Structure 1
């Protein structure tokens, strides 16, 4: 046991040292695309900013994944960031969308996520819409004739079972 522990511990130490050597020498972020608010309703105005493009650089944003198209990020005095805005289309479906910005000078591209969620309108409640996917039924479809035939078959089976139980209780046999 002692012979295998030392080589394994040495190998683990070597892997850890190699991992530390690959770490960046600075503690700051690499610069992504910040999306504010990160969760928005359809029709909302969204701001994006990034410091990845440099002090006086602009960028072209792409929000076509959510249906908003392209927009411009202009240089800002706030910590050397480029800032831009776009509006989430009213037809946007709930989900997570990737928003991308490409810096004007260079090939640097940054991305951030926008979550489109159902939000109540003016203090009201969100009204549910659509069908509930429970996994039950649906084999026959929504045809009313087939539904009526199924209900009739169940009613006949219930009546027959009741009649048989009644006969058995009276002692008539089956």
Structure 2
């Protein structure tokens, strides 16, 4: 029993040591690369930013996975971010791509995901419901009610015309 416990403890220590030695050389994932918008269409523009490079840090971005190549992230006044942009190539295929940035000082590397779709969420959506145009009034769109309204207007117009005609002839009311 003791021998089994020692063997399991030794195995656990070996696995933990292997995990520590596999840690990234740039010092961990204390920063991230934010991608805006996170979903884009081919031909669309994408902005990326990170705080990982420090207050006035810059970085080189790599969007080669999606086919856009490298781009520069420059320091900005917005909360110490380094910001850059690239254009998704028109030939980009749908999928999720990793966008990477490497800080100029220290070589810290951060990454974020970009999803490419062939259409936006609004394309292909069919309109539903009615449009408020003002036509129809209080009676609604029921054909029976519409016919009754038209008949009431016709009676009022005929009565008004008859009264005006009598007044013009001098018959009085």
Query: Could you list the runs of 4 or more consecutive aligned residues of structure 1 that deviate by over 3 angstroms after TM superposition?
Result: 120-125
Larger Rg: 2
TM-score (norm 1): 0.54
Q: In the superposition, relative to structure 1, how do residues 79 and 36 fare at CA in structure 2: closer, same or farther (>3 Å)?
A: same
- Alignment pair present for 1:108 and 2:94: no
Superposed, 1:8-157 pairs within 5 Å as 30-120=30-120, 123-124=123-124
Q: Whole-Å Cα distance in 2 between the matches of residues 34 and 121 of structure 1?
A: 21
**Residue in 2 that maps onto 1:136:** none
For residues 52-84 of structure 1, the C-alpha deviation after alignment (integer angstroms, 9 at most, x for no partner) is: 000001000000000000000000111101000
State the Cα RMSD in Å: 3.2
How many residue pairs were aligned?
118
**Deviation, structure 1 residue 30:** 2.0
Could you say what secondary structure the match of 1:115 adopts?
strand
What does the per-residue CA deviation read over 1:117-169, in whole Å, with 9 as the maximum and x for residues that have no partner? 121599556xxxxxxxxxxxxxxxxxxxxxxxxxxxxxxxxxxxxxxxxxxxx
Distance 1:69 1:81 in 2: 21
In the superposition, the TM-score normalised over structure 2's length comes to 0.54
